[in-house]
Amino acid sequence: MTGTLTVIGLGPGDPRYWTPAATAALAAASDLVGYGPYLDRVPHRAGLTRHPSDNRVELDRARHALDLAGTGRRVAVVSGGDPGVFAMAAAVFEALEEARPGWQGVGVSVEPGITAMLAAAARLGAPLGADFCALSLSDNLKPWDVVMSRLRAVLAADLVVALYNPVSRARPWQLGAALALAAEIKSEETLVAFARAVGRPDEGVTVMTLPEAVDRAPSADMATLVLVGATTTRLVTGADGASHLYTPRRVGRQP
Amino acid sequence: MTGTLTVIGLGPGDPRYWTPAATAALAAASDLVGYGPYLDRVPHRAGLTRHPSDNRVELDRARHALDLAGTGRRVAVVSGGDPGVFAMAAAVFEALEEARPGWQGVGVSVEPGITAMLAAAARLGAPLGADFCALSLSDNLKPWDVVMSRLRAVLAADLVVALYNPVSRARPWQLGAALALAAEIKSEETLVAFARAVGRPDEGVTVMTLPEAVDRAPSADMATLVLVGATTTRLVTGADGASHLYTPRRVGRQP
C-alpha cells in the first residue's frame, strides 16, 4: 500500500481553532511527526504512533516523515498555526526535492490552519484590516541584512507588519534592532502589539506605542507575535468599555 | 439584556474549514448579518433570523448589526475567509467609533478564519513558506497610486505577494496593470498562481510564469486569489507525480 503525508496546522493552542479538515486528517493518520509540544496537543488513541523531535531539525524531520510514508504509513506532520507560514510545509517540499527512491508513490498534501497573526489580530480587534505583511525575524536561514532591508521596505510602504520568530535563546537582540529601525521610519504615535500565546491559558496581549515597544523588546519571547501598526492603525473603545486595535480600510484621500 | 456582536470568518466555502469556535458562535447567535451568499452557507434553524445584504455596503451593514445588538440580540456578522483580512471586522470597528447611544453596552468580538491566501497556499503546496504580504487591489478605499507604490515596494523586496480583490465588474483593468508592473520588476521565470474558489465545487488552480499571467489577467474574477512568487518560489514534482508550488525558507547566501 502506498503511504501518504499530510502536513497539518493546529492553529493556536486551543482545539476550538482546529478545522474539521485537520481533525479528520489526524483521525486518519497512523503516525504523527512533529515538535514534541505540538504532538502533545493531539489526544492519544490506539493505533497512533508518535515521533516527537525537537524544534531545530525541520529538514531531518521532513525526511523522516517521508521515509515513514514510503513504507506505506499514513503520516501526519503536525505544526502549530498554519503549516505553510514559517512552519513545516516548506521543509517537506524542500526534502521532497531530494526524490529519494524509498519515497516512490508517496502523495503529499497540506491542511491549512489559523496562523498566529490571524489569531492575534482577532483577539486585538482588526489590526490587519488593510494591507499587511508577515516577516520572520529569524536570521537562521536568511542574512540579517535581508531581514532589515525587507523591514525597511514594508514600513516605508506603510503596511501593517506581523513579525514572526521575534526572539529565541540564540537570537536575543534581533527584535530590539527591528523595532529601533521601525522607530527611525515611523512616528512615535505608531501602535505596536505584543501578542503572546493567544488561545492558550498563559495568553497575554499588550498594545503600546513604538517607543514603549523598543523599551519592552526584551520582554518578548518565542511565543510572542509582534504587530507593528500602519500610520492609520488606531484604538477604539467599544460600547462596553473594551479597547480594540484596528486598521481602517480607507487609506489617504478619498479616491 | 445586553446584546453582543461577534464577527465570524467561515473560511473558504467548505464547512471542513469552519473552526469549532466559529461554529459555536453561530450556534449561539439569534441574528445573522452579512452578504447573502455567505449567509446561505449557514444551515437554517429555529430562532435564527437572517439579515442578508449586498456586497458593497459594509459600513451600513456594520451599523445595522450594532443596532440589532443594541436591542439585546446576539448578532453574528458573517464573512468568508478571515473577517479581519479585507472583510467585515474593520468595518465593524469603524462603525463602532460613531458610538451611537443605541449601542450602549454592546460587546464586540472577532473569531478568526482560514483566509483565502492560506487555503490557496495549502492547495498549491507552500508558496507562503518565506516572507509574504497581502495587498488588496481594490481602489475603492485607497488611491490607485498607493496600490502601485506598495506593490512596487514589496516586489522589489522579493516578498511573495497575495493579491486580494484582483478584479470586479467595476474594476476590470487593475490586475493587468499590477501584473504588468510586476513584469517590469521581476524576471520572466517568476511563477504566478491564480487560485479560484478554493474549497468550493468550482475550484480551479493554475500556475504559470509571469508573462503568461499578464496575458491571462482577463481570465481572473472576483473569486480569484492571485499569488506572485518570490525569486526563489519554485515547482517540485512529488513522488506520486503531483506538482507543488513552494517557496524555500532559505534566502540568499548561507548566513
B64-104 pLDDT, tens digit each:
999 999 999 999 999 999 999 999 999 999 999 999 999 99
What average pLDDT is seen over chain A? Answer: 95
Q: Do B96 and A252 touch (CB under 8 A)?
A: no
Cβ distance of A253 and B143 shorter than 8 Å: yes
Residue numbers in A near B195 (CB within 8 A): none
What does DSSP assign to residue A13? S
Q: What is the pLDDT of residue A253?
A: 60
Q: Which triple of cell numbers denotes residue B137?
A: 487591489
Where does chain A have alpha helices with state H? 20-28, 36-39, 58-70, 88-96, 116-124, 144-156, 174-185, 210-216
Domains parsed from chain A with CATH numbers: 4-114 (3.40.1010.10), 117-246 (3.30.950.10)
**Which tens digits make up the pLDDT trace of B192-238?**
999 999 988 999 999 999 999 999 999 999 999 999 999 999 999 99
Residue with cell 512596487: B152
The CA distance from B79 to B124, in Å, is 23
For A111, which residue in chain B has the nearest alpha carbon?
B122
* pLDDT tens digits, one per residue of A170-225: 999 999 999 999 999 999 999 999 999 998 899 999 999 999 999 999 999 999 99
Residues forming a β-bridge with A208: A192
Tell me what pLDDT residue A255 has.
Answer: 38
CB atoms A131 and B150 under 8 Å = yes
Beta bridge pairs of residue A205: A195
Q: Cβ A16–B24 below 8 Å, yes or no? A: yes
Q: Using CB atoms and an 8 Å cut-off, which of residues 125-164 of chain A contact chain B? A: 125-136, 139-144, 146, 149-150, 153-154, 156-159
Give the pLDDT score at B2.
87
Cβ distance of A126 and B92 shorter than 8 Å = yes
Query: What average pLDDT does range A217-235 have in this prediction?
Result: 96
B141, B56 Cβ separation under 8 angstroms: no
Is any Cβ of chain B less than 8 angstroms from the Cβ of A26?
Answer: no
- Say what the pLDDT of residue A54 is: 76
Q: Which of residues 27-56 of B touch A (CB under 8 A)?
A: none
Indicate if the pLDDT at residue A254 is higher than 70. no
- For testing contact with chain A, the best of B246, B247, B253 (most A CBs within 10 A): B246
- Residue in chain A closest to B118 (alpha carbons) equals A112
| Amino acid letter for position A103 | W
Among B235, B249, B12, which residue's Cα sits nearest to residue B125?
A: B235
| Contact call for B142 and A108, based on CB within 8 A | no
As a whole number of angstroms, the distance between CA A127 and CA A123 comes to 10
CA distance A38 to A32: 10
Please name every residue paired with A5 in a beta bridge, in sequence order, or none if there are none. Answer: A75, A108
Each residue's pLDDT tens digit, A161-171: 999 999 998 99
Stretch A81-97: mean pLDDT: 97
Total-model pTM: 0.97
Q: What is the pLDDT of residues B169-178, one digit of tens each?
A: 899 999 999 9
Q: What percent of chain B has pLDDT over 70?
A: 98
Q: How confident is the model at residue A236 (pLDDT cuts 50, 70, 90)?
A: very high
The pLDDT value recorded for residue A13 is: 83
Considering only the beta carbons, identify the residue of A114, A126, A132 that sits closest to B134. Answer: A132
How high is the pLDDT of residue B13? 83
Query: How far are the Cα atoms of A126, A139, B34, B50, B76 from residue B45, in angstroms, in the given order?
Result: 30, 52, 17, 11, 14
Asked if A94's CB is within 8 angstroms of B140's CB, the reply is: no
- Residue A211 near chain B (CB below 8 Å): no
pLDDT band at B255 (very low <50, low <70, confident <90, very high): very low
Indicate the pLDDT class of residue A52, thresholds 50, 70 and 90. Answer: very high
> Is A111's Cβ below 8 Å from some Cβ in B?
yes
Mutation site, A131, A141, A159, A225, interface B, largest B CB count within 10 A: A131
User: Considering chain B, what is the average pLDDT of its residues?
Assistant: 95
What ipTM describes this predicted complex? 0.97
